[in-house]
Structure 1
Amino acid sequence: MTFARILGHERQKDILRRAVKSNRLAQAYLFEGPDGVGKELMAQALARMVFCADGDGCGDCPACRKVDHHNHPDLHLLEADGKFIKIEQVRELQREMALRPLEAPRKIALIVGAERMNQAAGNALLKTLEEPNGASLFILMTHQPERLLSTIRSRCQRLQFGHLPLEKLKQALTEKLGLDDTEGHLLATLAEGSFKKALGRDREFFIEQRRELLKRVTALSAGSVLPLFELAKQLNDDKESLPDVLELLLAFYRDLLLFAHARPEQELVNIDLMEKIRREAGRHNVTALLRKLEAVIECRRHLERNVNSQLAIEVLLMRLAA
């Protein structure tokens, strides 16, 4: 992976290129921003540039190929073992980073999901960052920088990574996946500026089954008890898809609110469902639509806190049916 092949983040690329060319890399970087927007790709591209025989991450030299195949002896990856990054993992990384580089001018450690370090692991890493050996580079990546020790944050040069622009993401998805304009708009909008998230989407679910989901949800009424509980059970039986289901519902009710406020169609997510949006927006006033949107948001919060998912979905559908 080279900088040129990474979508967006031109300012961050320029900062890192200039640091490499002038031999003024920081001892530690903190790449922070939403999941899936390119932080890991940028870290790998930086490692390739540092190790590259030509100094530009050519992709052809032995060093670049080793980085691409994850077998470069001077590149070390640290990520959570289970829910957390444990102190034993950090200590093992410290031992590796204390050794002299075997092939490259320096060793590089990539720490993915740095917010998952427990306090002991964080304190251990801090000691290493406070006493750099001059032949090591640490790149920490996180979507929750506030969970890191403030002293770790202060020891790193911080680079912010934002969401990718909608039109740029839409264009990339359309070209890579062969989507039409409507499909590209839908996936790009639901991915919230994350290329990785968009590529992970099940197109059939988001473009076809989305219609069936919205049809069944909007057909519910306060008296439709059996269909409501049947749908709740079906959704709960596929727990892995629940976050995506809630995201679709959020996008739909957001569209209804925007339409009710006479916003341009281009701002909507489900632009291929305009007739349904007109019909549903006409059935409810703005206050009712806000309550439905709040119900979806509350359900998502409950599921993030590991409450009874079946009950949370049933309550959500009852509120949407009201």
Structure 2
Amino acid sequence: MGFESFLGNPHAVHTLRQMLANDRVPGALIFSGLEGVGKKTLALMFAKAANCERRKSGGDDFCGECPRCRKVEGMIAASREDLERRREIKDAARRVEGLVYFDVQLIEPLTRFILVEQVRRLRSAAFSHPFELPHNVFIIDSAQSIHWQATDLLLKVLEEPPPTATFILICPNASELRATIRSRCQRVRFTVVADEIIARLVGEGKAGGPPSADGKELAIRLADGSIARAKTLDLDDYRRRRQPWLDYLGALAIEPGAGPPDWDKIFEATRTLGRDRGEFEAALRVGYALAHDLIHSLLGRPERITNLDLLARLQAWSTRLGFERISRLKEGLDEAYRLQVRNTNPQMGLDALAVGAVETAPGARAGPIR
């Protein structure tokens, strides 16, 4: 147990270990980078290392087993439980009543924002001496969501942080934070996780064992460097969501002059895609990925294609569809998303898109629509 168990981003781990070894832990850090690469996990590890009983002066690691390390783990678990409980409260004003922060605390948005009262309580806890541990660590996840009225409060804390506290602000992009906040924090950048690490995680612990070589390559592309996505990715579910799009695109990408498309197949695909509104957003992401793949295929950039297991089909379809119709497909997906947001049946947008795509196809005949 220790930092060696962290996957990926060795430069970020090295930076933190150097701080610990030199006993120069800054009062505030920004962890920025892609979602799902382990920023929160490494923040928790750092909190353990800052408090570990077995870490001597000049040490740069933690044991994960001593009472303090276990205490940190328990505090984070309690923080998460409290956040979940508060999010279930319908009255937003009541969600912040009776906030109690531990020596190591996870702070996340309770609404769309991290609220003023959350930051006010954070400030109070930071300037109180730690109760059970030698060092306070406050992990602010989605720090870009701090309400603008709360940023001045946070800034006052960061200007003169107490010596017994470290603040870790987690966000996808540090530029989303106010410049005055960025200037008072040391930034630790996270990048995508290497493909070989993602490949080890794909299918880990899932029924049926690891996927085939083609499936593993597809999973690596879908994970896009994110450990979280690699661990939760279900290839069977993805292929299930993808199939209606393949039916839809295959029926549209007919040879010029080949006659009318198979409208029954097209409308069956749109019915399947629009049937469950709760799943439509996830299905739409698959559609966007295929549209981007068609563009990359047309431009001769196979290294950027996500659905690499469909390369031959994508190349044939992109040639038949052409850039204009693929661009219209992307615009149609945007419209389907807007219809879904407005609580209108998104199938209407997909049907209209199919009709328009056939009408603009060179030499194509729409034929009767039943």
Alignment TM-score, normalising by the size of structure 2 = 0.75
Deviation readout 1:274-293 (Å, 9 max, x if unpaired): 44324423422233324324
Deviation readout 1:216-258 (Å, 9 max, x if unpaired): 3543599888876775565455344334323222222333333
Q: Which residue of 1 aligns with 2:217?
A: 185
Cα distance in 2 for residues equivalent to 1:189 and 1:133: 44
Mapping of residues 197-276 of structure 1, within 5 Å? 197-219=229-251, 234-236=272-274, 238-264=276-302, 267-276=304-313
Distance apart, 1:53 and its partner CA: 1.5
Equivalent position SS for 2:317: helix
Q: Which residue of 1 aligns with 2:119?
A: 90
Q: Which residue of 2 aligns with 1:61?
A: 66
Cα distance in 2 for residues equivalent to 1:84 and 1:313: 33
Cα distance in 1 for residues equivalent to 2:354 and 2:9: 39
Cα distance in 2 for residues equivalent to 1:84 and 1:267: 35
> 2:137–2:168: 8 Å Cα contact kept in structure 1?
yes
> 1:187–1:206: 8 Å Cα contact kept in structure 2?
no
Which residue identity lines up with residue 182 of structure 1 in the other structure?
D
Q: Which residue of 1 aligns with 2:20?
A: 20
Aligned length: 318
Q: Which residue among 161, 167, 173 is the counterpart of 1:138?
A: 167
After alignment, is 150-159 or 209-218 more displaced?
Answer: 209-218
Equivalent position SS for 2:175: helix
Which residue identity lines up with residue 281 of structure 1 in the other structure?
S
Q: Which residue of 2 aligns with 1:314?
A: 348
Change (3 A) 1:230 1:51: same
Mapping of residues 95-114 of structure 1, within 5 Å? 95-114=124-143
Pairwise CA RMSD of aligned residues?
3.0
Q: Which residue of 2 aligns with 1:31?
A: 31
Change (3 A) 1:45 1:313: farther
Distance apart, 1:11 and its partner CA: 0.5
After alignment, is 153-162 or 275-284 more displaced?
Answer: 275-284
Which residue identity lines up with residue 309 of structure 2 in the other structure?
D
Distance apart, 1:138 and its partner CA: 0.3
Question: Where has structure 1 moved over 6 Å in runs of 4 or more?
Answer: 221-230
Change (3 A) 1:176 1:157: farther
Structure 1: where are the runs of 5+ without partners? none
Equivalent position SS for 2:131: coil
Alignment TM-score, normalising by the size of structure 1 = 0.85
Does residue 149 of structure 1 match 2:149?
Answer: no
Equivalent position SS for 1:159: strand
Structure 2: where are the runs of 5+ without partners? 56-60, 79-101, 254-259, 358-370
> 2:293–2:307: 8 Å Cα contact kept in structure 1?
yes
